[in-house]
Amino acid sequence: MDRRDLLTIGEVARRSGVAPSALRYYESLGLVTSTRTPGDRRRYERAALRRVAVIRAAQRVGLSLEEIGAAFEGVPVDAAPTRAQWTRMSARWRPALERRIADLERVRDDLTGCIGCGCLSLQRCRLYNPDDDLGDEGSGSRRLFPDETDAD
């Protein structure tokens, strides 16, 4: 590829709406790649713009950079996803997105019923302790999303 076809980090940042520091971070995670000039300046192929667009779209719907990186497996780091690769990536994200949508709908529906209750009690709150599933574990904080487990 002709060096004149490569984009500077500033050009990619301006065109993608992502800060240069974010681009460097994405690169450190292996989500995008750049080449270096003799003066050690980054240069990006135009495919980086598409990859950054995919990253931003995925983050906007709540996916982590780890999930995004896993979905990029099999897509060369210097190329934009093909239509088939995008179909595979989006299918991989679908179950997580369905769970998030269900969680948000539950919070929305429970929040409406909670606004005027005045209970101020985590033991009885439908948001923090739905169906008192954790009541047998004693007092203390409760999980907002019961199907999530502690990282410990």
pLDDT in tens, 99-145: 989 988 887 877 665 555 556 555 556 665 556 555 666 665 556 66
Name the helix (H) or strand (E) containing 93.
Answer: helix 83-114
* Look-up of token digits 């460097």: 24
What count of residues does the chain have?
Answer: 152
Inter-CA distances, 79 with 95, 105, 127, 146, Å: 26, 36, 44, 39
Q: What is the pLDDT of residues 14-48, one digit of tens each?
A: 999 999 999 999 999 999 999 999 999 999 999 99
Domains of the chain with bracketed CATH: 3-81 (1.10.1660.10)
Contact 34, 49 (CB under 8 A): no
d(CA 41, CA 32): 15
